[in-house]
Chain A
Amino acid sequence: MKQIIKLTVNGIEEEKAVHTHHSLLEVLRDEFKLFGAREGCGIGMCGACTVLLDGQPISSCLLLAPLAEGKAIVTIEGLSDPGKLHPIQQAFIDHNAFQCSYCTPGFILSTKSLLEENPTPTVEQIRAYLAGNLCRCGSYYKIQEAVVDAAARLRGAK
């Protein structure tokens, strides 16, 4: 059964007719055509579906879409201003911090949340915070480099 819900995605509120059993991930991809969030496992284990909900990283595959009403949803597509990459995105590019890039949007959004909570994370803190984002290609070392660099850029040290 479909229900009309209002979702605020990347700053824009839109009404969508969704099945009440559909996840936020399905609605973002099928209705909003925002393909940055991906389904890697469907059970909240891999982090490929990470989006920010009121600033917090969540597994969008685990949240029923109607329960996201009234929250501010940010996807990777909404991270930067048009024509200008977010410093975290630029750091990932500069450090080649990806191979197939399936996990990359999830990593970038989790990194944003990490650096907001902790602008000067140690390597151990970075690894622990990002342990919920899996990278099958094994780009972890370059991702770590990118996060360390992004932290410096955001602190204005560079």
Chain B
Amino acid sequence: MIKATITPSTSAAALKLNEDGSLNVLTSSVELGQGAKTVLAQIAADALQVPIGRVSVSDPDTELTPYDQQTSSSRTTFSMGGAIGKAAADLKRQLFDYAAELLEASATDLVLEEGRVAVRGTPGRSLGYGEIALRSSQGNLIGRGAFSTRGGLDLETGQGIGSVHWHQGAIGCEVEVDMETGKVKVLRLSPHVFAGRVVNPRLCELQLEGSAIFGLGQALFEEMAYDDRGQLLNANLGDYNIPSFEDIPKQLNPGALEHTGSEELHGIGETLLPPVMAAIGNAVYNAVGARIRDLPLTAEKILRELQRCCD
């Protein structure tokens, strides 16, 4: 499975350093439960050597927070993370400029160390970030950065850059098909994705597990049924079934393959969803020879196909 991320795109962020040394990340990225706030806080904390407990991430408010194109397309960690990286570089430069004057040192001799700016090799000569902000008389120090990608396809020729980078994933699947009822049981799922540099492994696992389970429902029982006048017949959770605890395989083996040493952040949010249905369909074909090309792969469809081709 190869997936694009929307290109071109832009994310912007601001980092507000407060007089107590705490850091506010100002961003329009939306926290849905995917962990955007956690990951963006990690990136900011890491870039500026601020303890993560002292980093807070704003909610989006287009009146106040810098521009973000959208929270979708598996782009937040990559794009907003990139913007935060640039904002951090801006803030670091300001910290060094003020600290150089206050510490009577050259900016090239300064390093960031756990919330302090220090003169390299001279542990006694350092200043806390909050103190630098205070003595700068600027109120706060604010770093800003925008991360934007170029590209896109020519609307007439279809040529150009379809995606600034490609998301890749694959999933292996083992199923059991009841030959009398046609019912499919998914025994094992192994979703793997290329992840570049992983910022938060647990959140990656949750994305992979979530995609696999969502795909299982799409593959086996989710269907919107319409009558001949276009009225939706099953708009309730009694008649439209989504996977429950009893529908999932005993075990899932999610894997986020990292590119060691790579700095490139890579989205993984949606990548693993589309191949799930194909993997289950292929596994059913491998098991019983029934090739079904429309979802969901219900027991009725499988039985009908078994009877058709094996009679």
A112 vs chain B, min Cβ distance (A): 16
- Which A-chain residue is minimally distant from B33 (CB atoms)? A100
- A142 and B238 within 8 A (CB): no
B198 part of interface (Cβ distance < 8 Å): no
- A99 and B237 within 8 A (CB): no
Residue-wise, chain B 194-232 has the 8 Å CB interface mask toward A (1 for contact) of: 000000001101100111111000000000000000000
Give the chain A neighbours of B206 by CB distance below 8 A: 96, 99, 137-139, 142
- B244 and A138 within 8 A (CB): no
- A45 and B238 within 8 A (CB): yes
Residue-wise, chain A 111-146 has the 8 Å CB interface mask toward B (1 for contact) of: 000000000000100111011111011111111100
Give the chain B neighbours of A42 by CB distance below 8 A: 236
- Which A-chain residue is minimally distant from B207 (CB atoms)? A99
- B252 and A45 within 8 A (CB): no
Instruction: Summarize B's interface: helix, strand, loop or mixed.
Output: loop
A92 part of interface (Cβ distance < 8 Å): no
Residue in B211, B213, B245, B252 whose CB lies within 8 Å of A127: B245
- Which A-chain residue is minimally distant from B35 (CB atoms)? A99
Q: A99-B34, A99-B206 are in contact. Are A138 and B236 (CB under 8 A)?
A: no
- A127 and B246 within 8 A (CB): yes
Give the chain A neighbours of B202 by CB distance below 8 A: 96
A43 part of interface (Cβ distance < 8 Å): yes
- A134 and B210 within 8 A (CB): no
Bound together, the chains give a CA A134 to CA B32 distance in angstroms of 17
A3 part of interface (Cβ distance < 8 Å): no
Give the chain B neighbours of A134 by CB distance below 8 A: 237, 242, 244
B39 part of interface (Cβ distance < 8 Å): no
B170 part of interface (Cβ distance < 8 Å): no
Give the chain A neighbours of B238 by CB distance below 8 A: 41, 43, 45
Instruction: Summarize A's interface: helix, strand, loop or mixed.
Output: loop
- B242 and A136 within 8 A (CB): yes
Residue-wise, chain B 31-45 has the 8 Å CB interface mask toward A (1 for contact) of: 011110000000000
- A138 and B245 within 8 A (CB): no
Bound together, the chains give a CA A127 to CA B244 distance in angstroms of 9
A51 vs chain B, min Cβ distance (A): 18
A87 part of interface (Cβ distance < 8 Å): no
- B211 and A138 within 8 A (CB): yes
Residue in A99, A138, A144 whose CB lies within 8 Å of B212: A138
- B32 and A45 within 8 A (CB): no
- Which B-chain residue is minimally distant from A132 (CB atoms)? B244
- Which A-chain residue is minimally distant from B38 (CB atoms)? A96
Bound together, the chains give a CA A43 to CA B245 distance in angstroms of 19
Bound together, the chains give a CA A130 to CA B34 distance in angstroms of 23
- A98 and B33 within 8 A (CB): yes
Residue in B32, B212, B248 whose CB lies within 8 Å of A100: B32
A101 part of interface (Cβ distance < 8 Å): yes
- Which B-chain residue is minimally distant from A127 (CB atoms)? B245
A102 vs chain B, min Cβ distance (A): 8
Interface residues of A (CB under 8 A from B): 40-43, 45-46, 96, 98-102, 123, 126-128, 130-134, 136-144
Pairs across A and B, CB under 8 Å, 25 listed: A43-B236, A43-B237, A45-B236, A96-B202, A96-B203, A99-B34, A100-B32, A127-B245, A131-B245, A134-B237, A137-B33, A138-B206, A138-B209, A138-B210, A138-B211, A138-B212, A138-B213, A138-B243, A139-B206, A139-B209, A139-B210, A140-B209, A140-B213, A140-B248, A142-B206
Q: A137-B33, A142-B209 are in contact. List 10 more A-B contacts (CB 8 A).
A: A96-B203, A99-B32, A102-B33, A127-B245, A136-B214, A136-B242, A138-B210, A139-B206, A139-B210, A142-B205
